[in-house]
Amino acid sequence: MAPPRATPEFVETSLTGLGLLSTPIFNKGTAFTEAERDAFSLHGLLPPQVGDLNQQVARRMKAFHALPDDFSRYTFMRDLQDVNETLFYALITRNVEEMLPVVYTPAVGEGCQRFSEIWRKPRGVFLSYPNRERIETILKHPRYDGVRCIVVSDGERILGLGDQGAGGMGIPIGKLALYTALAGIHPLSCLPVFLDVGTDNAERIADPLYLGWKHERVRGEEYDRFVDRFVRVVKKRWPHVLLQWEDFAGHNAGRLLDRYRDALPSFNDDIQGTAAVATATVLAAVNVTGVPLREQRFAVLGFGSAGRGIAGLLCSALAQVGLSESEARSRFYAVDKDGLLVEGMDGLRTEQAAFAQPKASVADWQRGDNGIGLLEVVKRVRPTVLIGVSGQPGAFTEDVIRAMAAGVARPAIFPLSNPTSRSEAHPADLLRWTEGRAIVGTGSPFGAVDYEGKQHRIAQTNNSYIFPGMALGILSARAKRVSDSMIMAAAQALASMSPTVKNSQGALLPPLDTLREVSISVALAVGREAAAEGLAAVRGEAFEQALRANIWEPVYLPYRRRK
- Give me the pLDDT at residue 218, please: 98
Residues 344-355 have a mean pLDDT of 87
Catalytic annotation, pick one of 28, 74, 89, 104:
104
Residue 546 C-beta-side C-alpha neighbours within 13 Å: 20
φ/ψ (deg, to 5) at 160: -100, 15
Taking only the tens place, the pLDDT of each residue in 124-167 is 999 999 999 999 999 999 999 999 999 999 999 998 899 999 99
Q: Rounded distance, CA 288 to CA 495, Å? A: 13
User: Does residue 4 carry a pLDDT above 70?
Assistant: no
The one-character DSSP state at 288 is H
Share of the chain above pLDDT 70, in %: 99
Q: Rounded distance, CA 306 to CA 443, Å? A: 12
Handedness of CA 72, 76, 78, 79 (dihedral sign): positive
For helices 96-103 and 515-532, angle between their N-to-C axes, nearest 10 degrees: 70
Per-residue CA distances from 424 to 307, 352, 405, 430 (Å):
14, 21, 17, 10
Per-residue CA distances from 535 to 194, 526, 531 (Å):
29, 11, 6
Q: What is the CATH number of domain 272-462?
A: 3.40.50.720
- Give me the pLDDT at residue 350, please: 82
User: Does residue 1 carry a pLDDT above 80?
Assistant: no
User: Does residue 3 carry a pLDDT above 70?
Assistant: no
Lowest mean pLDDT among 125-139, 292-306, 322-336, 343-357: 343-357
User: Does residue 249 carry a pLDDT above 90?
Assistant: yes
Per-residue CA distances from 281 to 276, 441, 463 (Å):
9, 8, 11
User: Does residue 376 carry a pLDDT above 60?
Assistant: yes
Catalytic residue flag (residue 175): yes
Binding residue per annotation — 246?
yes
All CATH 3.40.50.720 domain ranges of the chain, comma separated, are: 272-462
- Give me the pLDDT at residue 347, please: 82
pLDDT averaged over every residue in the chain: 95
pTM for the whole structure: 0.94
Binding residue per annotation — 418?
yes
The one-character DSSP state at 273 is I
Handedness of CA 294, 299, 302, 304 (dihedral sign): positive
Taking only the tens place, the pLDDT of each residue in 31-73 is 999 999 999 999 999 999 999 999 999 999 999 999 999 999 9
Taking only the tens place, the pLDDT of each residue in 465-498 is 999 999 999 999 999 999 999 999 999 999 999 9
> b/e map of 188-205 (b: 16 or more CB within 10 Å)?
bbbbbbbbbbbbebeebb
Give DSSP secondary structure letters for 527-561. Answer: HHHHHHTT-BSS-HHHHHHHHHHT--------EEE
Catalytic residue flag (residue 104): yes
Binding residue per annotation — 247?
yes
User: Could you count the other beta carbons within 10 Å of the beta carbon of residue 47?
Assistant: 8
CATH tag for 52-264 (out of 3.40.718.10, 3.40.50.10680, 3.40.50.10380, 3.40.50.1820): 3.40.50.10380
The one-character DSSP state at 410 is S
User: Does residue 5 carry a pLDDT above 70?
Assistant: no
Lowest mean pLDDT among 1-15, 31-45, 414-428, 447-461: 1-15
Q: Rounded distance, CA 156 to CA 201, Å? A: 9
- Residues 6 or more apart whose CB falls under 8 angstroms from that of 102 comprise 70, 73, 74, 77
User: Does residue 6 carry a pLDDT above 90?
Assistant: no
Q: Rounded distance, CA 550 to CA 478, Å? A: 12
- β-strands 339-340, 332-336 pairing: antiparallel
All CATH 3.40.50.10380 domain ranges of the chain, comma separated, are: 52-264
- Residues 6 or more apart whose CB falls under 8 angstroms from that of 381 comprise 297, 299, 333
Determine the Cα angle at 30 with ends 27 and 33, to 5°: 90
For helices 274-289 and 484-496, angle between their N-to-C axes, nearest 10 degrees: 40
Binding residue per annotation — 201?
no
Q: Rounded distance, CA 99 to CA 463, Å? A: 15
Q: Rounded distance, CA 7 to CA 325, Å? A: 46
Per-residue CA distances from 374 to 230, 336, 438, 526 (Å):
40, 9, 18, 36
Taking only the tens place, the pLDDT of each residue in 197-243 is 999 999 999 999 999 999 999 999 999 999 999 999 999 999 999 99
Rg, the chain, Cα only: 24
Binding residue per annotation — 157?
yes
Binding residue per annotation — 27?
no
